Chains A and B, each alone.
Chain A
Amino acid sequence: MGIVSPGFKGRGGAGREKLPPGQYLVTDFPVLSAGPTPRVDTGSWELRIRTETGEVHSWDWAAFRALPSEEITVDLHCVTKWSKLHTPWRGVSLDTLLAEAETSAEYALARSYGGYTTNLPLQDLLDGQAWVAYEFDGEPLESEHGGPARLLVPHLYLWKSAKWVQGIDLLDNDEPGFWESLGYHNYGDPWREQRYWGD
């Protein structure tokens, strides 16, 4: 018999898991969008990474799906205050996508089909922190949730995980994205509750 019983560690169960400040737990998967949902056919889909020197690396759907992928289970924290825990995804690590890019850029700007943008430090895309995800819960990612593929950067508020990602520009200078240019925090760490400018 162990010294610590399972009941000791697990007191309170799943409903008492730690959330970032100001967040509440949901079990559904809310859909937020700043416009109509782009319906992007995988036959015409393309992902482009452009470095600060103009060098472009691109993948069509077949080439993208041929890349090594990872299964990841992560927690999601939306700036509108809901959090969804233990969400299962499959995607390609940004470490893989950026492996061939020669860059000294410090910033990245993700661009989406439909015109959405979001910015983040390039280092936040590296070292196993970010993916371009194309499956959720074992199924192809639905368009409402960003399919066929979306950025997934779970350590930042979910607006940084750009749905319908089309490209990532690597930049020498930071360029605020869609929400970052309108009052939302430039970095967006949920554990520091960086929701708005000045937080």
Chain B
Amino acid sequence: MNTHLDGNVLAGALGEVFAVDITTAVAQCASCGTSQAMGQALVYTDAPGLVARCRTCGEVVLRVTRSPGRTWLDMRGVRCLELHVPGE
């Protein structure tokens, strides 16, 4: 059995990388073009890393892996990321 969580689970891992809250960022899927908040992505966590998939087409939008002291981030599945800038 493997299940997914919603994209808010990304907040922990990506909070170490981004100065802004990634879960409220709006990502345009590079595969189907759908725009959705990263928090709406389907995130598979029972894996060697976090794999976020587009809720519409199921393709990978973002992947994160973590080792002691290092993080790798692949955003090839995101065509454009709209970030909310605090204080503006």
The chain A residues found within 8 Å of chain B, CB to CB, are 30-37, 79-80, 115, 144, 159, 179, 181-184, 195-196
Contact = CB atoms under 8 A, between A and B. Distances in A.
Contacts of A115: 60
Contact of B65 (A30, A32, A37, A182): A182
Given A33-B47, A179-B49, 6 more contacts: A31-B2, A34-B51, A34-B60, A35-B53, A144-B1, A179-B48
Interface of A is mostly: loop
9 contacts: A31-B46, A34-B49, A159-B48, A179-B49, A182-B65, A183-B49, A183-B70, A184-B65, A195-B67
A115 B2 CA distance: 16
Nearest to A181: B74
B72 A35 contact: no
A115 B77 CA distance: 13
A184 B70 CA distance: 11
A144 B65 CA distance: 22
A96 B35 CA distance: 47
B44 A35 contact: yes
Contacts of B70: 183, 196
B51 A35 contact: yes
Contacts of B47: 32-34
Nearest to B49: A182
B58 to A, nearest CB: 7
B58 A184 contact: no
Contact of B67 (A30, A144, A159, A196): A196
A159 B70 CA distance: 20
A32 B74 contact: no
- Most chain B CB atoms below 10 A, which of A30, A36, A115: A36
B79 interface: no
A32 B48 contact: yes
B44 A33 contact: yes
A88 B64 CA distance: 33
Contact of A183 (B44, B51, B53, B65): B65
A33 B1 CA distance: 9
Contacts of A37: 2
B2 A36 contact: yes
A11 to B, nearest CB: 34
A110 B63 CA distance: 20
Contacts of B2: 31-33, 36-37, 144
Contacts of B63: 182
